[in-house]
Chains A and B, each alone.
Chain A
Amino acid sequence: QVTLKESGPVLVKPTETLTLTCTVSGFSLSNARMGVSWIRQPPGKALEWLAHIFSNDEKSYSTSLKSRLTISKDTSKSQVVLTMTNMDPVDTATYYCARIERVCSSTSCYYWFDPWGQGTLVTVSS
């Protein structure tokens, strides 16, 4: 059974750096076809993809947040870490990690998220 679990602070202050950890089980972060994505959802609003990382350390970031995000992994611990700098109250959201699967042909790849973690609510407030 594949599971993902997010952990990190419940409350951060404006300008601080957020560090979230996703611990996975049921699959390996060394699997070339699978990686981990971070997605967030402000209260009452839509989902927003943030970043993902694959076994070969290939990383992608949201265009609008790229300057503030860093994603990394520790395969031996089955963990993926997301840091987001300069937190602001508008970054208050539930942060989800999800397994991202990738299938590539000679010309392109496609991706999907499955399954998802339960999410962790992060509030940004002084």
Chain B
Amino acid sequence: QTVVTQEPSFSVSPGGTVTLTCGLSSGSVSTSYYPSWYQQTPGQAPRTLIYSTNTRSSGVPDRFSGSILGNKAALTITGAQADDESDYYCVLYMGSGILVFGGGTKLTVL
């Protein structure tokens, strides 16, 4: 079974830029996987950031952007702020209505 992979943790300095990635244990991620990204702070429900690779959900600031970098989906946060400190999850569409979450990345802003 194909596993969706994410960095377990990442850190960024306030005001800095960070790129989180979402890959496959076997194969490359392309736009055909329609990656989406979700932010979750402890104790809260997830919040939708990006869908269909690079479309921002309503109300999401343009500091958050999605793309395909090489063989992975990517979420880039520019001008990192303290309240960006969260867990970030990607989801890939595997076809036939099947969606798979990655293991999540814990982002620290310090």
Contact = CB atoms under 8 A, between A and B. Distances in A.
B87 to A, nearest CB: 8
Interface residues of A, number: 28
Interface residues of B, number: 25
Nearest to B97: A60
A59 to B, nearest CB: 8
Interface in A21-44: 37, 39
Given A49-B91, A112-B36, A114-B48, 20 more contacts: A37-B99, A39-B101, A46-B103, A46-B104, A47-B46, A47-B89, A49-B100, A52-B97, A60-B97, A62-B98, A98-B46, A103-B52, A111-B34, A112-B48, A112-B52, A113-B46, A115-B48, A116-B45, A116-B46, A117-B45
Interface of B: 1, 32, 34, 36, 38, 40, 45-48, 51-52, 57, 89, 91, 93, 96-104
